[in-house]
Every structure is written in structure tokens, then in C-alpha cells.
């Protein structure tokens, strides 16, 4: 765990969606070898159109397995019930490890945001990450943060994530979501909270994900949330934008500062 101690940033990496036990065990092994801070094991997937939307509750044992194998799990929760079910199952095995839950960009009901934050606030080993909303609106982004804080999550346990905004006009790279780095930096400074960057949901394709890593490295992000799959071509979700672990290695070097 050498890198982990040296790094000042938070690296969250793993597949877009947990698909099977074998796939998650491979992700755990790869994440562990690279000392990433949290492994993405996302159980509930917001989907634009109906399709595979995650393993849901039956994937919770995979989070337990991650903890038992010495990595910290991270997953999106769509509802307070999801957070409750995970916490009930994972806390008894968590010991001195951490659990990261996050609220995705499309989850813009402030009652749900507040309640997830309230549920997550019951234990200091639980961290909550919140992404910006899909449309460009700085006030709304500030509001999400105010809503989760009013739900009771401590600032020490809150991480922000910039995943870009729906393209509206200028988009020469054909990004899936266009970052506003300056806005992200304003929100980071104003809230005094760590801000990680999501090159996957901004980039939308492997070449663009690599460009996003490069662009974002010029700003003062506190880490990244990145989709990495052992066999991206056959991924059940976001196949176009997931890196292989080997592609990820080259990017990880950017964060290995001491």
C-alpha cells in the first residue's frame, strides 16, 4: 500500500457496473495491486433507456467480499433504502476500513439527496460523494451540496465530483459531458471540500477519456473517479469509455505524486 500513503489524492476506479462475482473479484485484485483508494463496485445504475440496471441488492455480498479482501468499496445509491441496506450489511465487517457511497448526476430530488446524506452520516467510516447535476447551473450545484450538508453529513466525510455538463453548443471533441473546470475549481474553493474529476463520463470514449485526464491534470483536482474494466469490449454498460487496467496505469502515474 505504498502509493496509497504517498498520494494526496483519492483514486476511485473499477467497472461502470458490477456485473458478476468473477468480474468484481478481478476488479478487486487489480485495484488492490494498484493501491487504489476505493474500488468502484456500482450496484444500482441509472440508465437512459431500460436495460441492465445493475445487480442491485443481490450484489451487496460483493461489497462485503471487497472489504474482506482489504479494499474499500464504492457504489452509487439511488435511494436511501439502498444506502440503508448496504450499511446494514457492510458495517459489521468494516472494522477500520472505509465505505464510499455516491449520489449520481441524474438523482436530483433534494429530499432523496438529504435523506441519503442523513443515512450515511451515522458512521464516520462512511464517505459520501456527490456529483454535479447534468445541466449547467452553478447555483444548482451549490444547492446539492447544501442539501446533503443539511442532511447531516460531515464535511470531513463529503467528496465532490465533477462529471461535466450535457453538451449545449461548443463541443469540438464530441465529449459525452463537457467539463467546466473553472466552475469546479470555484465550487471546490468556495466549499473547501475535495473535488475529484470523472474523466469517464466527460470523455465518453477511450481516446477522449485519456484527453480528459490530460486536461484535468492542469487543475487542482483531488483525485479521480474512473471506469476500468478487465474486458471493456464486453462490458454490459458504458463499453466505449471503460479503460483496461493497463491503460489506467499510465494515467495513475499522474496522481502518484508525493
Query: Which residues are near ligand PEP by CB under 6 A?
Result: 16, 42, 46, 76, 104-106, 131, 163, 201
Q: Could you say which of ligand PEP, Mn ion, none residue 163 binds, taking C-beta under 5 to 8 angstroms by partner kind?
A: ligand PEP
Pair 186, 119: CB distance under 8 Å: no
Q: Which of residues 8-47 bind Mn ion (CB under 5 A)?
A: 16
User: Given the complex with Mn ion, which of 7 and 82 has the nearer CB atom?
Assistant: 82
User: Given the complex with Mn ion, which of 46 and 92 has the nearer CB atom?
Assistant: 46
Query: CB of 76: closest distance to ligand PEP in angstroms?
Result: 6
Residues in a beta bridge with 159: 129
**C-alpha to C-alpha distance for 16 and 40, rounded to whole angstroms:** 7
Measured on CA atoms in the order 39, 43, 45, 51, is the torsion positive or negative? positive
User: Given the complex with ligand PEP, which of 57 and 91 has the nearer CB atom?
Assistant: 57
User: Given the complex with Mn ion, which of 16 and 130 has the nearer CB atom?
Assistant: 16
Instruction: Give the closest residue to 229 by CA, choosing from 219, 241, 221.
Output: 241
Q: 95: helix, coil or strand?
A: coil
E-strand stretches of the chain: 10-14, 38-40, 73-76, 99-103, 126-131, 158-162, 195-197, 223-227
- Span interacting with Mn ion, options 20-28, 90-98, 206-214, 230-238, rule CB under 5 A: 230-238
User: Given the complex with ligand PEP, which of 93 and 171 has the nearer CB atom?
Assistant: 171
Query: CB of 120: closest distance to ligand PEP in angstroms?
Result: 17
Query: CB of 237: closest distance to Mn ion in angstroms?
Result: 6
Instruction: Give the closest residue to 180 by CA, choosing from 137, 225, 139, 149.
Output: 137
Q: Which of 141, 238, 245, 252 binds Mn ion (CB under 5 A)?
A: 238
Amino acid at each position: 500500500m505504498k502509493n496509497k500513503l504517498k498520494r494526496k489524492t483519492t483514486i476511485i476506479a473499477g467497472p461502470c457496473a458490477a456485473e458478476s462475482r468473477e468480474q468484481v473479484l478481478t476488479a478487486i485484485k487489480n485495484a488492490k495491486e494498484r493501491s487504489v483508494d476505493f474500488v468502484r463496485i456500482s450496484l444500482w445504475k441509472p440508465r437512459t433507456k431500460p436495460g441492465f440496471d445493475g445487480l442491485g441488492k443481490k450484489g451487496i455480498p460483493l461489497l462485503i467480499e471487497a472489504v474482506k479482501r482489504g479494499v474499500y468499496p464504492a457504489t452509487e445509491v439511488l435511494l436511501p433504502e439502498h444506502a440503508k441496506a448496504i450499511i446494514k450489511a457492510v458495517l459489521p465487517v468494516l472494522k477500520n476500513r472505509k465505505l464510499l457511497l455516491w449520489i449520481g448526476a441524474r438523482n436530483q430530488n433534494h429530499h432523496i439527496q438529504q435523506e441519503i446524506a442523513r443515512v450515511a452520516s451515522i458512521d464516520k467510516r462512511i464517505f459520501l460523494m456527490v456529483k454535479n447535476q447534468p445541466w449547467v447551473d452553478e447555483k444548482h450545484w451549490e444547492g446539492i451540496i447544501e442539501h446533503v450538508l443539511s442532511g447531516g453529513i460531515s464535511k470531513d466525510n463529503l467528496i465532490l465530483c465533477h462529471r461535466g455538463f450535457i453538451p449545449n453548443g461548443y463541443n469540438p471533441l464530441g465529449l459525452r459531458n463537457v467539463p467546466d473546470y473553472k466552475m469546479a475549481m470555484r465550487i471546490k474553493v468556495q466549499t473547501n471540500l475535495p473535488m475529484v474529476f470523472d474523466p469517464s463520463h466527460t470523455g465518453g470514449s477511450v481516446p477522449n477519456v485519456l484527453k480528459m485526464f490530460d486536461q484535468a491534470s492542469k487543475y487542482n483536482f483531488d483525485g479521480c473517479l474512473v471506469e476500468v474494466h478487465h474486458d471493456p469490449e464486453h462490458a454490459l454498460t458504458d463499453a466505449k469509455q471503460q479503460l483496461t487496467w493497463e491503460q489506467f496505469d499510465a494515467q495513475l502515474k499522474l496522481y502518484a505524486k508525493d
